[in-house]
Structure 1
Amino acid sequence: MPADRPESAASRPLRIAINGYGRIGRCVLRALAESPRHRRALSVVAINEPADLASMAYLTRFDSTHGIFPGEVREIDGGLEIAGQAIPVSHAREPADGPWRRLDFDLLLECSGAFATRASLQAFLDAGCPRVLVSHPGRSAADVDCTIVHGFNDADLRAGQRIVSAASCTTNAAVPVLDLLERRLGVDGAFLTTLHSVMNDQPMIDGYHHADLRRTRSAMQSIVPVSTGLAQGIERMLPGLAGRVQAKAVRVPILNVSAIDLAVNLRRDTSPEALNAIFSEAARARPDLIACTGQPHASVDFNHDPHSVIVDLGQTRVNQGRFANLLIWFDNEWGFAHRMLDVAQAWAGRFQAAAPAPESASLSSSLSSGV
């Protein structure tokens, strides 16, 4: 490292850009603002979002699910000032039109969900992004260099990887539970039913909204069965369970917080008490990721909860020794936003140690150029 370089790549905060400032993009920024641990290590230095600046500022400040932003938000020339930090904003719809080559940053968080193939994600690299962390599993395992469930397989991260997935909210919830069951008791088969809060691919009232006719129905009036790739996502992370996992999903008319009803055939006898002891032990070992509760909760109690999974100990059931049923909760927005930041920080530990950050224009010059 040159002696006259004022700040080493390994010592400075990881400089991240956000592409797509919707539910996950805004939650990522807010989670960073509210988490001292992440705030010390990460910094948002650019946002790309097709929406207008006034709407972005308003929706940052006021959020129906997570409340009023805990800091000042205002529009400035060429961007937003959030909690005292000036962040340049661009409005490109395609990767090639973004300002990436003019920015000094280490990692793009692709939070729009609109780019799911290797070719579409490669377009960000071709446009000047050094690396891309994706907020979904990708269309297939081949579309990303690696899929990470934080706390499970962070060791698979490599400095030379360019496209990494942070999996999905459901995968981050299910994998730690199934991994524990497989290691401690063995899993012959599992069926997962996700009860997921509404999403923006559903209409408020019936309309011509989706090729899946169920998704043309009002999100706020019905429980709506939808397709899910959860089983494939689990098998990607736990290949030893290949062919032994099935899943289905239904959307339920609430704004946030989801649950998974897990039915599992185990290879060894157990009891509700023994199962709960396994998860309570895991929660003590990883209190940042796993929680347990014996209280009579409803879903709203887990809004703004940063854990990947909360095991509802009062809902654990066992039939004939080896057929178990579990209920696990997760905040599909807030928990996953924290996992995006965790994976970004873990990945930075690899590539920042391996090489200096790329030289490019400063943040101040980006603002002055109206990026």
Structure 2
Amino acid sequence: MSGSSSQAPTNVRSGRALFRLCLVRDDIRLVAINHTALSLEHLFNAIRHDSTHGPCIAARDLPLEYHGRVIHLFSQRDPHKLDWKLAGAEYIFESTGKMTREAQARVHIDHGGAKKVVISAPSSDCPNVVFGVNHRTYQTDQDVLSNASCTTNCLAPIALVLHRSFGIETGMMTTVHASTSSQKVLDGFSTKDVRQGRSAMGNIIPASTGAAKAVVKVLPELAGRFHGISIRVPVTNVSLVDLTVTLETPVASKDDLISVFRHAATPRLAGIVAVSDEKLVSSDYLSSTESATIDVDASVALDGRTVKIVAWYDNEVGFSSRSE
């Protein structure tokens, strides 16, 4: 994406990851931030330091200037009062996690004067676009889009490759997912699910996920064939998808199975899907920008029709890389 861009706000993980990516991209000009930090000191600290990804060297001179241009700072909890046009912002990355419906996100256009909004979360009523899967369906008159979720961005390209190569009869996905800010550090209460109220750092916690349903939104031909669950584990970042499918057309061997991903990764899904022959662990994929990295050693071709694909993804950086 070229031209002016902006972000609102930086108080959640995807927003902060996206902010860092904007700093190192020459084709995106960051012009404004809406934040809800207690003070500028708190904001600057959050920008420059991160417990997971380390210090942000590119932000040493921020937020006053970026590439010689002033960055406008808003601190507004009411989105109706944001004047994005004043800041020269054309594209809004809606990263609050609170405005996921089209009418909510459209406030940035109708009241703020922006041209387009990308919601960095799944949306129930606006187009969900997964780059590399259904991005070509985008129409220029669609001015509010959802980037779906980190897990959907990992799962959907894998499902696409398998379905186009062999056909998918049924699929069951488990995401072994890093803890998120919605969970509790210590035992407490959750209005969403009793188990979500338990300590994220001391437990493995089964949870629901909408990723399987979201895949059907971008690959409607798979309707009724997919189900998925999430297992939250006590790590701060990097997750994996464990996808087991029954194929319509048998695959001859594991080598043949993996070869279709090697072929798809270059060049059609380059930068989106990667294949790794190394025996790595989650921390090795920290700050990986791919949506999915196939773990060859962990993947299985059981009997020709039953196969398992294991893929890693940085659920913060990988996902935010697709928002751009």
Secondary structure in 2 matching 1:321: coil
The 5 Å alignment of 1:3-18 reads 13-18=2-7
Give the counterpart of 1:296 among 263, 279, 303: 279
The corresponding residue for 2:8 is 19
CA drift at 1:83: 6.4
Q: Is the 8 A contact 2:30 2:66 kept in 1?
A: no
Give the counterpart of 2:34 among 44, 48, 55: 48
Q: Which runs of 4+ in 1 moved over 4 A?
A: 82-85
Q: How many residues align?
A: 319
Q: In the aligned structure 2, how far is the partner of 1:213 from the partner of 1:80? A: 44
Q: In the aligned structure 1, how far is the partner of 2:22 from the partner of 2:323? A: 10
Could you report, residue by residue, the CA deviation over 1:84-126 in whole angstroms, capped at 9, with x for unpaired residues? 5431111111211222242212111101111122332232222
Q: Is the 8 A contact 1:309 1:329 kept in 2?
A: yes
Could you report, residue by residue, the CA deviation over 1:234-258 in whole angstroms, capped at 9, with x for unpaired residues? 0001111100000011111001000
CA drift at 1:279: 0.9
The 5 Å alignment of 1:3-152 reads 13-21=2-10, 22-34=12-24, 39-51=25-37, 52-74=39-61, 80-82=64-66, 85-128=69-112, 129-138=114-123, 140=124, 143-144=125-126, 146-152=127-133
TM-score by length of 2: 0.94
TM-score by length of 1: 0.82
Give the counterpart of 1:225 among 181, 201, 206: 206
Q: In the aligned structure 1, how far is the partner of 2:266 from the partner of 2:87? A: 41
Q: In the aligned structure 2, how far is the partner of 1:301 from the partner of 1:98? A: 40
Q: In the aligned structure 2, how far is the partner of 1:227 from the partner of 1:213? A: 12
Q: How many percent of aligned residue pairs carry the same amino acid?
A: 32
Q: Which amino acid in structure 2 is aligned with residue 63 of structure 1? A: D
Secondary structure in 2 matching 1:263: strand
Comparing 95-104 and 39-48, the one that deviates more: 95-104
Q: In the aligned structure 1, how far is the partner of 2:181 from the partner of 2:213? A: 23
CA drift at 1:210: 3.5
Secondary structure in 1 matching 2:16: helix
Q: In the aligned structure 1, how far is the partner of 2:264 from the partner of 2:301? A: 20
The 5 Å alignment of 1:190-205 reads 190-205=171-186
Q: 1:67 to 1:82 in 2, by over 3 A?
A: farther
Q: Which amino acid in structure 2 is aligned with residue 278 of structure 1? A: V
Q: Which amino acid in structure 1 is aligned with residue 47 of structure 2? A: T
Flag structure 2 segments of 5+ consecutive residues without an equivalent: none
CA drift at 1:82: 4.8
The corresponding residue for 1:312 is 295
Q: Is the 8 A contact 2:84 2:90 kept in 1?
A: no
Q: Which has the higher contact order (CA 8 A, sep 6+)?
A: 1
Q: Which amino acid in structure 2 is aligned with residue 181 of structure 1? A: L
Aligned-pair RMSD on alpha carbons? 1.7
Q: In the aligned structure 1, how far is the partner of 2:244 from the partner of 2:142? A: 36
Q: Is the 8 A contact 1:71 1:83 kept in 2?
A: no
User: Does structure 1 residue 241 correspond to structure 2 residue 222?
Assistant: yes
